[in-house]
Amino acid sequence: MQKVNTKLPAFVRQEGGSMEQKNLDQIIRETVARYMNRSLIVAGNWKMNTTPVEGVELFKGIVAKKGEVCSCVNFIVAPPFTHLSEIVKLSRGTGIGVGAQNCAAEAKGAYTGELSAEMIASLGVEYVILGHSERRQYYGETSETLNKKMAQAYANNLTPIYCVGENLEEREAGKHFDVVRQQVEEVVFNLTPEQFSKLIIAYEPVWAIGTGKTATADQAQEIHAYIRKVLAEKFGDAANETVILYGGSCKPANAAEIFAKEDVDGGLIGGAALKVSDFKGIIDAFN
Known catalytic residues are 132, 204
Name the one range near ligand PEP by CB under 6 A: 32-40, 150-158, 247-255, 276-284.
Answer: 247-255
Does position 271 bind ligand PEP by CB under 6 A?
yes
SS (H, E, C) the chain: CCCCCCCCCHHHHHCCCCHHHCCHHHHHHHHHHHCCCCCEEEEEECCCCCCHHHHHHHHHHHHHHHCCCCCCEEEEEECCHHHHHHHHHHHCCCCCEEEECCCCCCCCCCCCCCCCHHHHHHCCCCEEEECCHHHHHHCCCCHHHHHHHHHHHHHCCCEEEEEECCCHHHHHCCCHHHHHHHHHHHHHHHCCHHHHCCCEEEECCHHHCCCCCCCCHHHHHHHHHHHHHHHHHHHHHHHHHCEEEECCCCCHHHHHHHHCCCCCCEEEECHHHHCHHHHHHHHHHHC
Among 217, 250, 264, 282, binds ligand PEP (CB under 6 A): 250
Rule CB under 6 A: say whether 247 interacts with ligand PEP: yes
Site map 136..175 versus ligand PEP, x via CB under 6 A: ----------------------------------------
191-230 mask for ligand PEP (x: CB under 6 A)? -------------x----xx--------------------
Binding residues with ligand PEP: total (CB under 6 A)? 13
Nearer to ligand PEP by C-beta: 36 or 205?
A: 205
Residue 133 or 240 with smaller CB distance to ligand PEP:
133
Q: Which is nearer to ligand PEP, 30 or 204 (CB)?
A: 204
Task: State the nearest-atom distance from the C-beta of 45 to ligand PEP, in Å.
Answer: 4
Q: Which residue, 225 or 272, is less far from ligand PEP as judged by CB? A: 272
Least CB distance to ligand PEP at residue 242 (A): 18
Give the one residue of 116, 145, 167, 249 binding ligand PEP; rule: CB under 6 A.
249
Shortest CB 18 distance to ligand PEP, Å: 40
Give how far Cα 10 sits from Cα of 30, 90, 236, Å.
10, 39, 15
By CB under 6 A, name the binding residues for ligand PEP.
Answer: 45, 204, 209-210, 247-250, 268-272
